[in-house]
Amino acid sequence: MRKFLRILLSIPILTSSAIALDYGDNDLYVRVIDVGAGLCCVTAMPDSHYMIFDAGYGDNAVTDVTEIIPNGSRIDLMVLSHTDADHLGAVREICDLYDIDRIIHSGMERTSATWVESETAIRAESASPNGCKDINLSRLEFPAGATYRFGDVFVTMICGFGEPPGDWDISGSSEHNNAGSVVIRLQYRGRSILFCGDAVGRHEGGPQTQCIATEKYMVEMSEAIPIRSDVIIAPHHGGDNGSSEAFIERVDPNYVIFSAGHRYEHPRAVTVQRYLNRGVAESHIFRTDLGDDEGDAEWNVGRVSGQNDPSGDDDIDIVIRDNGDVAVDYRQSK
């Protein structure tokens, strides 16, 4: 048996259980690490297969990764959704600690020190004797629908671009940098998790019916490349420029996770409302910034007046059990 997880943080309005999640050798486990205003997810699959999706901000991410992935293990797949620093901060440390079989990343050129450091680490990993495959989407075509199989787990490429297509309705550098985000769908025992990075689906403050860019692409492709998922790690930390109505309808999640911190007023109340309108239960909506207070634009459930939520205390566990049951809950503070 893999280790039991800690007793979860007790905030009754948000949590669905007072007992920590556990997982066994034949269960699939994902931890959405509380890295503050960033994203890092680590997945442990049966038969000692491992995946990293985004590697935002170093210390918390590296500590949790090393808790879950044993020393000396190989990481089967690292996916870096796009080139913002809050999704790349732990790349170098993870590459230093583990051999990695494949790294999928956009290859979009940036100038930040974090981007330079991560690209240097990826190049070094691909040049090392371990034979890492560097899937740079600015140089290589990796088509939507391509699927890796790790035992009984399937990881499907939903979309991802070195640069977003020129005919997308994108305005400004932030939308441009985010819209090419790699999105993947993990499937196990008939259940699925959608990892969305910072995918763009709306202009912030736009009409509620708006669906553009990355999300429009996924909705239009969804008959051929399904995006229906039991759990969604929501686009762009719960910003209003993602999670369009049409996209939520097509994904139709039972659980929603917002990886957010004390910055940008995420998750936005208007964004959460779109999930509630679709029928997601409030108790099935989770945030890695419990207690945070950035004003009225932020979702008010779980807020504490005047609180600046620190990183590292609101990790979220996802377990898909061998029998197909899905569980999502908070872990206790570190």
Mean pLDDT, all residues of the chain: 93
- Domain-wise residue ranges, the chain: 28-330
Q: What is the pLDDT of residue 20?
A: 53
Q: What is the mean pLDDT of residues 213-218?
A: 98
Task: Kindly report the pTM of this predicted structure.
Answer: 0.93
Confidence of residue 332 (pLDDT cuts 50, 70, 90): low
Q: What is the pLDDT of residue 240?
A: 98
28-330: CATH topology is Metallo-beta-lactamase; Chain A (3.60.15)
pLDDT in tens, 15-73: 333 345 899 999 999 999 999 999 999 999 999 999 999 999 878 899 999 999 999 99
Q: What is the pLDDT of residue 57?
A: 87
Distance CA 39, CA 103 (A): 17
Quick check: 284 and 318 in contact, CB under 8 A? no
pLDDT in tens, 147-201: 999 999 999 999 999 999 999 999 999 999 999 999 999 999 999 999 999 999 9
